[in-house]
Structure 1
Amino acid sequence: MIVIAVANQKGGVGKTTSAINLATAFAASGWRTLLIDLDPQGNASSGLGLASASRGASSYDLLVDEVPLSECIATTKISNLQIVPATVDLSGAEVELVSVPGRVERLRTSLASVQEYDICFVDCPPSLGLLTLNALTAADRLLVPLQCEFFALEGLSQLMQTVEQVKERFNPSLRIVGIALTMVDRRNRLSEQVSDDVRDVLGDLVFSAVIPRNVRLAEAPSHGLPALIYDHHCAGSIAYMTLARELISRLPSLRKAA
């Protein structure tokens, strides 16, 4: 199974939207897909139609109480896609785990024996705390959504440093699979300038596909659906399908190994 952490310590960059829609695109392509919601806000869970009251065992139980992964998985309305939901309890997980031995390896341990999925996306909180470290320690690859704004590169160097530290201490195989430019407004010259600057700095690490600002992307979570289901033909959905195809092209050796 391939594990991809979707992370950026800056909030509001389209991280959860990317995790939901990429997971949906992979599931629609026949990949047996698992999405793990590690954000205490639980937006990935609600974005897939799981009401707070209906969530049973969650990612909190998985990490803190070491409840088996199979007992934390919930079904979604989408074929081939299941989720480990998050609840508000997760907000206290970092405090509860701080003195626990092997605290950054809890997620990796839980995923170690899983055979029934082809790929797992982990939606991380907007921070570089213990929850994100668990995701990076468990992941084969990191996907970074980067908002196309003036301060797009602010904080990215810190994330890169964290990745290097995780590689040295916990997960030598971790690599960045790509940077996805999000919230691009082609009517705004600043968006194009920032996009060009990011590509100049990061080169081929940046995906060719870009995610535009799109009303239907913003509306979809309120209906408990990914944009790919809510409006398959909108510009945002088409962009995420293009991004998913590009991501798949960067994973062939990993999929063979999986």
Structure 2
Amino acid sequence: MTQRLSFAAGIATQEYLTAEEGAIRAHEEECTHWYVDMSLPSDHAHEWPQPRRRSLVKMASGLGVRPIVHGNFRAPLSTEIPEVAAGVQAYLTAELQLASDLGAPLIVHGGALADPRPTESGRWNALQRFLRALEQGLSAASGLGVEVWVENLAHYPRFRPFTYVFTRYADFVTVLDYLPEVAFIFDIGHANVNQSPPLRLFHEMTSAIKAISVSDNDGRADSHLGLGRGNVPLKELTDTIVKTHWSGLVAFETRGAGVDEGVHALQAHLAG
């Protein structure tokens, strides 16, 4: 399937299935990769005894697909509570060990700030706490031979009980300045929520973006719609990818729409 998307070094599917079911689905959809989703109860970090890890590695090899460990986005990596920060660092180490055992990259997220009216200073402080946690995580990842990809979450400015951390263009710049070795997975669906997706990132940090995640929405919430069913600027995305000669893994997180449909949607924009 990667041959049908000129810029795709690999194609991943996220079907919100157990790790084993996801591997089978990825094979059926002719994908190269699939998500092992740590936010699913079946795949929480404590649900991975060694026999299951070995079994999944064997299964993936037989099916010809490779895992990507999608870290639990609920992990509070930006917490201001020292005791919680220590616990979440231990949790991150468990995700890193799983990724190492599976031979997979690990996707991490900034967590959330519990504040219905977040200030800019509050967002900044939360991002700084995330940076410190990420720095420790990258150090541990290096020793385990794991590549870490930082994923942006949806931007909810106000009037929700929380706001996510690491959501905006300036956040990418801050993280890369602080950790020049960092790698990103750019989620354009998340980047479309309550803001215009910062496609300039592909011009400014092409080599740092190792993967993209694609889905659609109406700009108000992260709906994970099939491509073309919302207002995510897909044509602008493909034009930018072509102009910058970007190449990397493309992950489809589209509920109710298959990977093949998404590939055809991107192909149409490339040809248009």
Q: With structure 2 as the length reference, what TM-score do the two structures score? A: 0.38
**Bigger RCO (CA 8 Å, 6+ sep):** 1
